[in-house]
Homo-oligomer: A and B are copies of this chain.
Amino acid sequence: MALPNGPVTTSSEAEAVLFDLVDVYERAYEAAAAELSLSPAQACVLGRLDERRGMGALAEELGCDASNITQIVARLEALGLVTREPNPRDRRARLVARTPRGDEINHRFTTAFTFARTAVGRLSPDEQDQLTALLRKALS
Question: Which of A45, A63, A120, A137 is most buried by chain B, counting CB atoms within 10 A of its CB?
Answer: A120
Q: How many copies does the complex hold?
A: 2
Nearest B residue (CB) for A140: B122
Are A116 and B19 in contact, CB atoms less than 8 angstroms apart?
yes
Contact: B137 with A17, CB < 8 Å? Answer: no
A1-34 at interface with B (beta carbon < 8 Å): 1-15, 17-22, 24-27, 29-30
Residue A78 at the chain B interface, CB threshold 8 Å: no
| CB of A70, distance to nearest CB on chain B (Å) | 14
A15 touches B117 (CB 8 A): yes
| A10-B130 in contact given A26-B22, A44-B5, A45-B3 (Cβ < 8 Å) | no
Give the one of A41, A50, A62, A135 with max B CB within 10 A.
A135
Residues of A within 8 A of B (CB): 1-15, 17-22, 24-27, 29-30, 40-41, 43-45, 47-48, 50, 62-64, 72, 110, 113, 116-117, 119-120, 122-123, 127-132, 134-140
